[in-house]
A and B are shown apart, each in its own frame.
Chain A
Amino acid sequence: MNLNSDDIEIEEVLYRYFRKELSAREVTDVEAWVEVSPENQRVFDEAQLMFLDMKGLSYYKNLDIQDVDLSWEKFKKENNVRSIQEAPSSSFNLLRYAASIVLVIGAAIGIYYYQNRVEEITIASAEEVRELTLPDGSSISLNENASIKYREPFQNNERRVLLNGEAYFEVAKIEKRPFVVEVGDAEVRVLGTKFYIDRPETTSLSVQVEEGRVLISYNDLHQIVETGQTLTLDMEEDSLIETEDETGITSFWKTRRLVFRVTSIEDVVNIVNEAYGTSIQLQGSTEGCALTVTFDDESLENVLEIISSTLNYELVEDGASYILKGNDCQ
Chain B
Amino acid sequence: MALFKDTAQFEMAYKQYFSMLVGFSFQYVEDSDVAEDVVQEVFSNLWNQSDHLEVKTNVKSYLFGAVRNACLNHLRHLKVVESHAQASMQVEESDQTTFMEMDELREKLESALKQLPEKRRQIFEMSRFEDKKYHEIAEELDISIKTVETQMSRALKVMREVLGSYLVYLIIFTLIMLLEGCRGKI
Chain B residue numbers with a CB within 8 Å of A15 are 152, 156
Among the listed A42, A53, A62, A257, which residue makes an inter-chain contact with B105, where contact means beta carbons less than 8 Å apart? A53
- The reply on B153 being an interface residue by CB < 8 A is yes
B160 within 8 A of A: yes
Within 8 A of B (CB), among A30-59: 41-42, 45-47, 49-50, 52-59
Binds B, one of A65-73, A266-274, A281-289: A65-73
Let me know if B82 is at the binding interface, CB within 8 A.
Answer: no
Give the CA-CA distance A200 to B96 in the complex, in Å: 58
- Contact, CB under 8 Å: B18 / A66: yes
- Asked whether A246 is an interface residue with its Cβ less than 8 Å from the other chain, the reply is no
How far, in angstroms, from A128 to B122 measured CA to CA in the complex? 11
Does B114 sit within 8 A of A, measured CB to CB? no
Shortest C-beta distance, A282 to chain B (Å), equals 28
The smallest C-beta distance from A84 to any residue of chain B, in angstroms, reads 9
Q: Once bound together, how far apart are the Cα atoms of A180 and B15, in whole Å?
A: 31
A107 interface neighbour in B8, B102, B126, Cβ under 8 Å: B8
Q: How far is the CA of A11 from the CA of B149 in the complex (A)?
A: 11
User: Is the pair B44, A42 in contact by a Cβ cutoff of 8 Å?
Assistant: no
Task: List residues of A (71-112) whose CB comes within 8 Å of B's CBs.
Answer: 71-72, 74-75, 78-79, 81-83, 107, 110-111
> Which of B11, B24, B122, B170 touches A72 (beta carbons < 8 Å)?
B11
Known: A63-B19, A115-B15, A128-B118. A297 touches B142 (CB 8 A): yes
> In the bound complex, do residue B15 and residue A111 qualify as a contact, i.e. CB atoms below 8 Å apart?
yes
B20 adjacent to A83 (CB under 8 Å): no
Verify B109–A68 contact, CB threshold 8 A.
no
B10, B48, B128: residue with the most chain A Cβ atoms closer than 10 Å: B128
Decide if A64 touches B23 in the complex (CB within 8 Å): yes
How many Å from the CB of A251 to the closest CB on chain B?
A: 13
Judged by a CB distance under 8 angstroms, whether A310 is at the interface is no
B126 closest partner in A (C-beta): A131
Q: Are B44 and A75 in contact, CB atoms less than 8 angstroms apart?
A: yes
Q: Establish whether residues A82 and B7, one from each chain, have CB atoms under 8 Å apart when the complex forms.
A: yes
* Chain B residues, Cβ within 8 Å of A49: 72, 167, 169-170
A139→B128 CA distance, assembly (Å): 15
Q: Which residues of A contact B72 (CB under 8 A)?
A: 49, 52
When distances are taken between beta carbons in the complex, the residues of chain A under 8 Å from B105 are 53, 57
**Which of chain A's residues have a CB closer than 8 A to the CB of B10?**
81
Q: Assuming A53-B68, A56-B27, is B171 touching A42 (CB within 8 A)?
A: yes
Complex Cα spacing A241 to B12, Å: 54
Report the bound CA distance from A131 to B171 in whole Å: 36
Which residues of B lie under 8 Å from residue A21 when comparing CB positions? 133-134
Interface centre among B12, B106, B154, B156 (most CB of A within 10 A): B156
Within the complex, what minimum Cβ distance (angstroms) separates B136 from chain A?
12
Given contacts A45-B170, A68-B18, contact A11 B157 (CB under 8 A): yes
Asked if A11 meets B160 with Cβ closer than 8 Å, knowing A68-B15, A72-B18, A75-B44, the reply is yes
> Are B174's CB and A45's CB within 8 A?
yes
- Asked whether, in the complex, the Cβ of A66 is within 8 Å of the Cβ of B109, the reply is no
A54 and B109: CB pair below 8 A? yes
Chain A proximity of B57: nearest CB distance (Å)? 14
Encoded as 1 (CB less than 8 Å from any B CB) or 0, chain A from 2 to 17 comes to 0000011101100100
Closest A residue to B28 using CB positions = A52
Given A11-B153, A64-B19, CB of A57 within 8 Å of CB of B106: yes
Q: B19 and A65: CB pair below 8 A?
A: yes
Once the chains bind, are A114 and B12 in contact (CB under 8 Å)? Answer: yes
Q: Is the CB of A12 within 8 A of B19?
A: no
- The answer to whether A62 touches B12, judged by C-beta atoms less than 8 angstroms apart, is no
B27 to chain A, nearest CB (A): 5
| A82 contacts across to B, CB distance below 8 A | 7
Q: Which of B38-72 contact A (CB under 8 A)?
A: 40, 43-44, 47-48, 64, 68, 71-72
- In the complex, which residues of chain A have a beta carbon less than 8 angstroms from the beta carbon of B131? 58
Is B130 touching A133 in the complex (CB atoms < 8 A)? yes
Contact A56/B40 with A63-B19, A79-B47, A111-B12 known, Cβ cut-off 8 Å: no
Q: List 7 A-B contacts (CB under 8 A).
A: A8-B154, A11-B157, A15-B152, A42-B174, A46-B171, A66-B22, A114-B16
